[in-house]
Amino acid sequence: AINDQFADTDAVIVIGANDVLNPAARNAEGTPIYGMPVLNVDQAKQVIICNFDLKPGYAGVENPLYSRGEGVALCLGDAKATLSNLMDRLDHAESAPAASTASSTSSATSSATPLQSATEVLHNAKSVIIVPGYGMALAQAQQEVKQLADKLAKGGADVKYAIHPVAGRMPGHMNVLLAEANVDYDSLYEMEAINDQFADTDAVIVIGANDVLNPAARNAEGTPIYGMPVLNVDQAKQVIICNFDLKPGYAGVENPLYSRGEGVTLLIGDAKKTLSDLIDTL
C-alpha cells in the first residue's frame, strides 16, 4: 500500500530497522535477503536513520544506505534518547528559529545532509586539525586536502596537520604526500606534539585514517591495536570523517567513532570527491 509513495516523500525516519529496508536485497545475489521484498526507503528525498549502530541486521548483510552519504542522516545510539533529542530540537526550532540558525557547531540538525552538517561545523570552526591516513594516498587526495586547508585558513581558522608515526605504508608517507601538495612543513605536527591539543580543537577532519585514531586501542584488550598510542581525535568538539567506507582498518578492529553519533559527521565515499564537494559547498 505504501511502497510506491517513498519516491515522493520528503523524509523517512527509520527506527531500529535494517533488513526490511536494505536495498541490497534487490541485487546482492547469494545473500540471505536476496529477492526479499523490502520497503523502498532508499527512494525518499531524505532518510534519517535512528539505529543503535551501523552493524548489519539479523541477516548479516551490509546496508548500502549507511555509507551513501548524500540524502542520509545517521543519528546513532539508543533510539529512545535519539528521538527525545530530536523532539527537543524541533521544539527549540519552533520557539526560537532565529537562535537555531546561529547555534553552535554542535547543533547541526538531524535533517541536514552530512555534507551540510560538515560545512556548518567548518564554517564556524576557529581551530582545525587535519588527520591524513593511507586512504588519502589511495584516493590521491592530498591536493584537495591542501585546497580545503587554504580555504579554512583564509576564513580565519588555525589549521594544523596531525601525523601519526605509522600512518600510511611506510615511515614519513604522509609527509611526502603533503609535501607534494606544497603543505608548509611547519604545519605538520607529530603525535607527541599535538595530542594534547585535540580537546581544545573545534573540528578534526579525518582523511582516510582509522587505526591510528581508533580509541579502542585504549581498552580493547586482546586486539592487535591494544596499547598502541593513537591520536586523540575523539576528544575534539567535532569530528568529520572522510573515509571510503565504515569497515575496520588494517588491524580489523571496529572503530567506535563510527557509531558514536553526537559530534561525529560521516562523509563516506572517495575522499577526493568528498573533499571537492566540501570545498565547493564552503
Per-residue model confidence as pLDDT tens for the chain (282 residues) = 999 999 999 999 999 999 999 999 999 999 999 999 999 999 999 999 999 888 889 999 999 998 887 889 888 888 888 888 788 778 766 665 443 333 333 334 445 678 888 999 999 999 999 999 999 999 999 999 999 999 999 999 999 999 999 998 888 999 999 999 999 999 999 999 999 999 999 999 999 999 999 999 999 899 999 999 999 999 999 999 999 888 888 889 999 998 888 899 999 889 999 999 999 988
In a domain, 38, yes or no: yes
Do 248 and 192 sit in the same domain of this protein?
yes
Q: Choose the final residue of a domain: 79, 101, 122.
A: 79
Beta pairing class for 264-266 and 238-242: parallel
Q: Do 53 and 259 meet the contact criterion of CB atoms below 8 Å apart?
A: yes
Tell me what pLDDT residue 94 has: 64
Instruction: Tell me which amino acid residue 171 is.
Output: P
Report the CATH number that the domain containing residue 207 is assigned in CATH: 3.40.50.1220
Do 117 and 75 sit in the same domain of this protein?
no
Q: Do 63 and 28 meet the contact criterion of CB atoms below 8 Å apart?
A: no
Q: Do 84 and 75 meet the contact criterion of CB atoms below 8 Å apart?
A: no
In a domain, 168, yes or no: yes
21: left (phi over 0), alpha (psi -120 to 50) or beta: alpha
In a domain, 31, yes or no: yes
Tell me what pLDDT residue 96 has: 54
Q: Indicate the helix (H) or strand (E) that contains 89.
A: helix 79-95
In a domain, 108, yes or no: no
Q: Extract the C-alpha cell encoding 98.
A: 532565529
* Number of separate domains in the chain: 2
In a domain, 9, yes or no: yes
In a domain, 99, yes or no: no
In a domain, 105, yes or no: no
Q: Choose the final residue of a domain: 63, 79, 95.
A: 79
Do 23 and 153 sit in the same domain of this protein?
no
Provide the annotated active-site residues: 211
Do 120 and 174 sit in the same domain of this protein?
yes
135 - beta bridge partners? Answer: none
Do 144 and 36 sit in the same domain of this protein?
no
Do 120 and 210 sit in the same domain of this protein?
yes
| Phi and psi torsions of 189, nearest 5° | -125, 130
Provide the domain limits for residue 136.
Answer: 113-281
In the block, residue with C-alpha cell 523490502: 38
In a domain, 16, yes or no: yes
The Cα-based distances of 189 to 2, 160, 194, 267 in angstroms read: 54, 7, 6, 24
Q: Extract the C-alpha cell encoding 211.
A: 587505526
Do 222 and 162 sit in the same domain of this protein?
yes
Do 241 and 152 sit in the same domain of this protein?
yes
Instruction: Tell me which amino acid residue 35 is.
Output: G
Do 29 and 146 sit in the same domain of this protein?
no
Do 152 and 269 sit in the same domain of this protein?
yes
Angle 148-153-154 (CA atoms, 0-180°, nearest 5)? 100
